[in-house]
Structure 1
Amino acid sequence: MKTGKDKNTPDSEEQVNNLENIEKQDAAVENETIPADHQMPGVPTDELSKTEEELSEMKDKYLRLFSDFENFRRRTSKERLELMKSGGEDVMTALLPVMDDLERAKMAMENATDVNAVKEGLELVFGKLTNVLQQKGLKPMEAKGQPFDADLHEAITQTPAGDEMKGKVVDEIEKGYYLNDKVIRFAKVVIGA
């Protein structure tokens, strides 16, 4: 038989019942959901409404910003497509007079008896074409006699050459071109070996 009481042991059935009731209330509170219109304790109503208004304003600003960005994206994509379609328009317009000259030269060649006159005409048209292309930024690449550079030249073959032409471009099969200092066609060359 015990003479002393354990501190954790309840004194009576009433205390046991009280403990069980407290545990049931705690479990009910944990499982309970708080309704949306329930006032939070310690938060004034005007502060809560002010916070809700700020949230509403921020949502509105976000939607407007998102809408503006979508409009900007669509407009930019449309402008890009239009630019791609008409990007070469200025070059084509500049080449039309050269095309007219070529047509006139073609008609003149049909009835021409003097080969030198035809040759001079073609040289004039070629000079005009070269000037138009240079105005638009096209520049021919000088490769013959230069050291071979893989960033500018495409080697087709090698040929035996003297010591002074070893590793240099001996012959140019196809001319290379720059457009505004960017290589748009590599020169096809023969390298001295």
Structure 2
Amino acid sequence: MKKKRENEKFEEGCAQEESQVKQSSEREASCEKNSMENGEPQECGAEGNAVEEQAGRLDADLEALRKELAETKDRLLRMTAEFDNYRKRTLRERGELISQASGKTLEALLPVVDDFDRALASCEKCDTLPSMVEGLELIRKSLYGFLKKEGVEEIEAKGLSLDTDVHDAVAKTPAPEEKLKGKIVDVVRKGYKLRGVVLRHAQVVVGE
């Protein structure tokens, strides 16, 4: 009896093992059939699940890297734009400082030009050596040449209507002619512009 039960258990175990092998074979056959129908190789069973999980993790990692790359690129673009704005602002401020310094220097030189104009006007009214007059004229010409080279130009005034943007009326006088009423009849001190910006207003006398 004992031997008979052992035989029955053995036969039952063999049957179970055979059933498991058969089921495994059927799954593999089904997987291979699907692979052939789809035209693509497929992983079956536990190994296939592991491959799918690994592929999922790789996709997630790839998406994270893409997101990080996009954020880094965006930060780089912003930094580049900020640096470009900083460079332009620095150049503009530097240019303004140079222009201001240049303007102050040129403005300080204008009284010297005025003195030469007055000196030449005085020489024309008195007996002065021609060589001295010629020397003063050469110096005056050099000064005006330097001012022009630096962008300084004289403000037109005499015979024009008063323009408070460039003219400073310091006095009024009866107009010598009817057409000069409200016009500038005399210039007390010349005015100048530096590259289009008023460096010194012209002091003028207006006819009335």
TM-score for the superposition, normalised by structure 1: 0.51
Corresponding residue SS for 2:157: coil
Letter in 1 for 2:76: R
Is 1:189 matched with 2:204? yes
Match of 2:75 in 1: 63
Q: Offset at 1:167?
A: 0.6
Deviations 1:77-105 (A, max 9, x none): 278538845985xx99xx9xxxxxxxxxx
Structure 1 residue 63: Cα displacement: 3.0
Instruction: Give the secondary-structure state (helix, strand or coil) at the position aligned to 2:153.
Output: strand
Secondary structure at the counterpart of residue 158 of structure 2: coil
1:129 counterpart (143, 147, 160): 143
Q: Distance in 1 between matches of 2:190 and 2:87?
A: 41
- Trace 1:36-185 onto structure 2 (pairs within 5 A): 45=57, 47-72=59-84, 73=86, 77=90, 80-81=93-94, 84-85=97-98, 88=102, 115-161=129-175, 162-185=177-200
Q: Give 1:191 deviation, angstroms.
A: 0.9
- Report deviation, 1:165: 1.6
Identity of aligned residues (%): 31
Instruction: Tell me how far 1:166 sits from its aligned partner.
Output: 0.8
Change (3 A) 1:157 1:47: farther
Whichever residue aligns with residue 126 of structure 1, its letter is R
Structure 1: gaps spanning 5 or more residues: 1-43, 96-113
Instruction: For 2:164 and 2:72, locate their aligned partners in 1 and report how far apart those are by CA, in whole Å.
Output: 57
Partner of 1:107: none
State the partner residue of 1:99. Answer: none
Instruction: Name the SS of the counterpart of 2:199 in structure 1.
Output: strand
Kindly state the Cα deviation for residue 47 of structure 1 after the two structures are TM-superposed: 4.8
Counterparts of 2:142 and 2:93, CA distance in 1: 32
What CA deviation, in whole Å up to 9, does each residue of 1:82-141 have, x standing for no partner?
8845985xx99xx9xxxxxxxxxxxxxxxxxx7543332111111111122223332212
Instruction: Give, as a single letter, the amino acid of the residue that structure 1 aligns with 2:147.
Output: L
Mind listing any 5+ residue stretches in structure 2 that lack a counterpart? 1-55, 110-127
- Give, as a single letter, the amino acid of the residue that structure 1 aligns with 2:68: S
How far apart in 2 are the matches of 1:183 and 1:126?
22
Distance, in Å, in 2 between the alignment partners of 1:82 and 1:139 is: 20
**What amino acid is the match of 1:170?**
V
C-alpha spacing 1:164/1:83, structure 2 compared with 1 (3 Å): closer
Looking at structure 1, the residues matched to 64 and 91 of structure 2 have their Cα atoms a distance apart, in angstroms, of: 39
After TM superposition, the score normalised by the length of structure 2 is 0.48
3-state SS in 2 of match to 1:129? helix
Helix, strand or coil: the match of 1:51?
helix
CA distance in 2, matches of 1:79, 1:182: 17
- The residue matched to 2:185 in structure 1 has which SS? strand
Structure 1 residues 48 and 67: CA distance shift in structure 2, 3 A: same
Where 1:125 maps in the other structure, the secondary structure is helix
